[in-house]
Amino acid sequence: MGELIHTHAVTEIRRVLETAGYDCEIEEGPFNLSAVRGAKCILVMCSDDINLLQRFDMTPYTINLGGTKVRCDKIIFTGSSYFQPKESDLWSKDKLLKYIGDAAAARIWSLPFDIVGAPSYAYTNIGVNQPPIGYDLVLPVRISGQEAIRVARQQGTTVLRMIPYWYYHYKSGGEATYKGKSVSFDDEGSGWINAINDLPGQFGDVVPQEAELPQNAEIMPPVTSLDQAKERIRCDLIKKLTRRVRIKTTAGDAIFAEEKDFRPSDENIDLVFKKVYVPVWQVRGKKDIVEVNAYSGEELTLPSDEGCEVF
């Protein structure tokens, strides 16, 4: 598709969204269009550039609506037949044409009209009932907002946020044998992965609890899926459990040495994952935002949702 087609597509998508009751604005970038209706925001990108599409698709965007941070839904319109988004609603040529026709009919005959897309991230407390959040476990809030202000060493408003993590426990076993050498893969351990920025977490020997999420907290949805977390951790564990062994053999008076890597297979490793929400206080001062772990009381050196762009 050419640039002119993309420009026309933005114009038509804007009209479709406005027919559905959204207030739309043309954006200069990194996306083409933003649309807001009530507690929901939609961002639109029209492009055939795979790199731009992938970055837009995998970047979580948020907006403040009515004093509440809301994660934006995304629509992608592209002529590329190879691109398949993971986080966005893909509008094909046929889908756009159908919406254009339905929206025109709605305007002419005053018919009800709305768009149907992927499940929305617009989970807010602004006059709507929230869908149930699929969580397994939580770490309890053990320090107050005032205590977080003291830890942050700055004055400001406090906002409690529940950050999703993937907690995993692994157990490996079995062995490999080569030329009389045997290597064991026996090991056991656990770890944490932030489901938003994909960074490892350190919480010691904490025991998560089954509990309801605080009603006054911002519930952050995962960006890293369970399948993505499993794939990453399994690869990391295989690398960690790989053993390099030096093997010596003799032939007459000669001594030969070789090095061999022994790697466990997927069948050698059992992995169990749980999604756990970790409470974090944001202390929003005049210039800076400081985050404090509401469970441990420690100031965070990196943002809990680093990589999340706010516009």
What is the per-residue pLDDT for 208?
A: 81
> What 3-state class would DSSP assign to 152?
helix
Check residue 209 and report its DSSP letter.
B
What is the per-residue pLDDT for 127?
A: 39
Q: State pLDDT tens for residues 84-127.
A: 898 899 999 999 999 999 999 888 886 778 887 655 555 443 33
**76: pLDDT strictly greater than 60:** yes
Give the CA diameter of the chain: 97
Per the CB < 8 A criterion, the answer to whether 297 and 142 are in contact is: yes
| % of the chain with per-residue pLDDT over 90 | 29
Topology at the third CATH level for domain 3-109: Trna Endonuclease; Chain: A, domain 1 (3.40.1350)
Q: State pLDDT tens for residues 233-257.
A: 999 999 998 888 877 777 777 777 7
* Boundaries of every domain in the chain: 3-109, 137-310
How many CB atoms are located within 10 Å of the residue 215 CB? 8
H or E element in which residue 105 lies: helix 93-109
Residue positions counted in the chain:
311
> In the structure encoding, which two tokens stand for residue 50, read together?
């795979």
**74: pLDDT strictly greater than 90:** yes
Question: Worst-scoring range by mean pLDDT, 19-23, 52-56, 116-120?
Answer: 116-120
Per the CB < 8 A criterion, the answer to whether 104 and 72 are in contact is: no
Which residue's structure tokens are 């114009």?
Answer: 11
CA distance 46 to 157: 38
Backbone angles phi, psi at 210, to 5 degrees: -80, 120
What is the per-residue pLDDT for 287?
A: 80
> What 3-state class would DSSP assign to 239?
helix
Q: List, edge to edge, every strand of the sheet that includes 309-310.
A: 68-71, 61-65, 309-310
Model confidence, pTM: 0.52
